[in-house]
Each structure stands twice: as structure tokens, then as C-alpha cells.
Amino acid sequence: MDLDVYNFFIQKGFSDSSSAIINIGFLLLIVLFLTLIVSFVSRLIIKGLFRQLAKRTKSKFDDFLIINKVPTSLAYFPPLFFLIWIFPKALARFPSADNLLIILDILVALLTIIIIRKFFSTLKDYLKTLKNFKDKPIDSYIQVIMIFVWSVGIIVILSLASGQGISTFLTTIGAMSAIILLIFKDSILGFVTSIQITINDTVRIGDWITMKSSNADGNVIEINLSTVKVQNFDNTITTIPTYKLVSDSFINWRGMNESKGRRIKRSLLIKISSIKFLNENELKKIEKIELISDFVKARKEEIKNENSMKKIDKSILLNGRNLTNLGLFRNYALKYLKSHQKINQDMTVMCRQLKPTSEGVPIEIYAFSKEKKWEDYEEITSDIFDHFLSSLPYFNLECFELSTNKIVR
């Protein structure tokens, strides 16, 4: 491109340096104008093509390409290539034209990295909409790929800027491998852990985990190369190094969510002094409790026959076999659980007595709620124990209390 503006201004009496500056400025204005036209046309064409593609296909992938502005970034390539083509012609007399070409080459390399990053961000967003990938640590793999892409890109950029060959930088990196391993220790450990997590299916996004060493108790919301984010039930976020999911122990409650019930394991502390043998009048009263009425009658008859056969002196309740209020309460609690519609009867249902303590005799309720959602589970558990606590007086039992040692009623 020879517009000879330089000679024109020389003839008009301008100095050599002034004419050269005006010439270069004029040429740059023309190049800038043409570049803007190329940029406008390329944006119009590339964005239009992607919009048409998004309208014609049912896949969400092209929609995510637009959301992540991949077409916008691609539209920068034509004006950059146009500048690389036109600069040697338009600025042939400009002594620093080669330096401008190097800058343009570096911009092309940076733009390539940015487009690759946006493409993988699009891929990540798309895969997270698929059922098979929704709970997989996709972020970790994308981050590993991007570390590799940025590493290659930085080497290429440094090679372009310095004029040195790529092999020179690779040799330097080899010599600095120990330092690089130290710098990227967490990333390397995180990548290895991500592979182990995926292969062993240890943790998925959405899992409820408990890790006491990190004060984490909530749902996993993100798994990436270096950290795992857990949203606790108080809505705080705990960040755990990814490699800790392999090196440290934690509880994953996914098995409970996938099972047919959520475990209820809670105890009532019965005041020891309230436990006793029951006399005939007390037994008649308890016989009126429908859930255990048949059991009490049958057991009374069985005990009566055995005591009679052995000629047991029943003037003292201690002699022979007897029914206790605690034993009947355990039987009542068990039958109540087995008749409860929201308790899974296909799983373990049990009411057992544990080792006595200084706070009383623990009666443990062990069963599985059909409802696994936290709010519903707690509601069912509370209803069951409300009922049991209210039932104790009917068996002349008292629950341990530090304040009064007596149930308030």
C-alpha cells in the first residue's frame, strides 16, 4: 500500500520526520477503519450463524456457546488476521513494524487460549445439565486441561516475545521441575484425588457429607481441582482440600438417601426408682391399653400357670415370675412402632434396654423412617417421642430429669 503521503507533505515544506509521522498516522487511520469494517462484518456473520444454529437444534450446547460468548471471541480472529496481513504492506517504511507483528501474534495466542477456556466452560455447563454427569467432578478435569493449555500458551507467548525456540523453554521447565511440582502440589494431589473419587464413586455433587476434622456437615456443591465446597445446614460454606477426601475419614450419607429409610436411634432415660413389679390392680389397668391388651392377658396366664405349677408363694411379688412396668412399656413401644404407618416395617424395628447409667436406664428406640427428608424425618421422630414421653405415666414410669427427677405433667 503506497499512498505516498510522505512525498506530498515534503513538497508542502514539512520536515522529513514530520512527514514520516503524518504518513504513518494516515496509514494507521486507514488500517483502523478497514479493521473496524472487517470486525463489524465478522461479528455480524459469526454471531448470525450461531444464532441460526441455536434455533435449528434442540441441543443446549450451542445455547451455552452463546451464553459463554464463544461467537464474540471467534469474531476477533478475522480482524487480527487482517492486521497481520496488512501491516507489512501498509507500514513497510515503519522501522518497528516487526514488533507490531509480534504483538499481534501474541494477541492471537492469547485469544486462542481464551476461546479454548470458553469452549471448556461451555462443555462443563452443558455436561452439568446431563443426568449422567450432574454429580461428577467435571470442574477438576476442566481445570487440569486449562492448566495444560495455559502452560503451553505461556511457553508459546514467551517464545514469540523473546524470539527463542520453544525447545529452549521446555529445557528450562525440565530443569525447574522440582520447583514446579512444589508449586502445583495441591493441584496434582487434587487431580489424582478427583480420579479416585470418580472411579470409587466416593463423593458426588449433592451428597450430604460430614467431616468433623474440617467442621463440614452439609451438601457438596462443588468439586474442583484443589477444593471441595460444602454448604453446611446453617448456610455457611466450608472449603476442604480435595485430597483430604482420600487422606482423611468422613461420613457420606448418600447410602441413607438411596436406602428405603432413615434411621431413628434415640433413647429415653428411665428413672431407676420408678421401675417395679406390677400387682394385679395395676395389670388390670394396663390391660385396657389396646396395643398390648392381648399380650398382657396371655403373659399373665402363662406366668400364673407356671407359678402355680411350681407352687410359688405370691404373697410377695418378688417370688416367681412377674411382669414389670418397664418390660410392658418396651413391649408397648415396639408394638407402637410396628403399627406406625411412617416406619418402614421391612427394616429393623427394635426397642431395647441399654446398660444402666447414673442418669437412669436407657430405653433405645431403633427404627427406620420412610421419610428421609430432614424436616419430615424430624417431625416423625418428634411425634413418636412425644407419644412415648406422654405414655410413661400410664406405666408408672418416670423419665430422668436433673431439675426435678420427675416428668412434668
Q: What is the mean pLDDT of residues 67-96?
A: 79
pLDDT at residue number 146 = 83
Query: Do 218 and 122 belong together in one domain?
Result: no
Q: What pLDDT is stored for residue 377 in this prediction?
A: 92
Instruction: Give 28's pLDDT tier (boundaries 50, 70, 90).
Output: confident
Instruction: Give the number of domains in the chain.
Output: 3
Q: Are residues 79 and 20 in the same domain?
A: yes
Instruction: Compute the average pLDDT of residues 116-137.
Output: 82
Do 290 and 391 sit in the same domain of this protein? yes
Q: Which of 222, 242, 258 is the last residue of a domain?
A: 258
| Residues 200, 254 contacting (CB under 8 angstroms) | no
pLDDT at residue number 339:
93
Same domain, yes or no, for 205 and 268?
Answer: no
Give the highest mean pLDDT range of 14-18, 94-98, 107-111. Answer: 107-111
Average pLDDT of the chain is 83
Predicted confidence at residue 15, as pLDDT, reads 53
Q: What string of H, E and C letters represents the secondary structure of 20-33?
A: HHHHHHHHHHHHHH
State the pLDDT confidence band at 2, using cuts at 50, 70 and 90: very low
Looking at the structure, do residues 28 and 121 belong to the same domain, yes or no? yes
Kindly tell me the sign of the dihedral angle through the C-alpha atoms of 173, 175, 180, 185.
Answer: positive
**The most confident of 14-23, 46-55, 336-345, by mean pLDDT:** 336-345
Average pLDDT over residues 95-99: 65
**What's the predicted TM-score (pTM) here?**
0.55
Q: Is residue 189 part of a domain?
A: no
Domain assignment present for residue 79? The answer is: yes
Both 253 and 285 in one domain: the answer is no
Of 134, 166, 183, which closes a domain?
134
- Side-by-side strand order, sheet with 350-353: 262-270, 361-369, 350-353
Q: Decide if 174 is inside a domain.
A: no
Q: Give me the count of residues in the chain.
A: 409
pLDDT at 141 (0 to 100):
76
Residues 266 and 375 in one domain: yes
Examine the domain organization and report whether 235 and 324 are in the same domain: no
* 300 and 371 assigned to the same domain: yes
Instruction: Please indicate, yes or no, if residue 311 is contained in any of the structural domains.
Output: yes
Domain end call among 243, 258, 273: 258
Range of the domain at 329: 262-395
What is the reported pLDDT for 1?
A: 44
CATH of the domain at 216: 2.30.30.60
Asked if the structure places residue 164 within a domain, the reply is: no
Residues 253 and 269 occupy one common structural domain: no
> Same structural domain for residues 269 and 245?
no
pLDDT tens for each residue of 306-364: 888 888 877 787 888 889 999 999 999 999 999 999 999 999 999 999 999 989 999 99
Mean pLDDT throughout 99-123? 87
Q: Are 268 and 362 in contact (CB under 8 A)?
A: yes
pLDDT at 12 (0 to 100): 56
Question: Would 139 be classed as within a structural domain?
Answer: no
Per DSSP, the residues of 348-374 read --EEEE---BTTBEEEEEEEEES--SH
Least confident of 34-48, 158-172, 310-324: 158-172
Provide the pLDDT confidence category of residue 96 given band limits of 50, 70 and 90. Answer: low
In a domain, 268, yes or no: yes
170 part of a folded domain? no
Same domain, 386 and 269: yes
210-249, pLDDT tens digit by residue? 998 888 999 998 887 778 899 998 999 999 888 888 888 8
Stretch 192-208: mean pLDDT, rounded?
A: 79
**Percent of the chain surpassing pLDDT 90:** 29
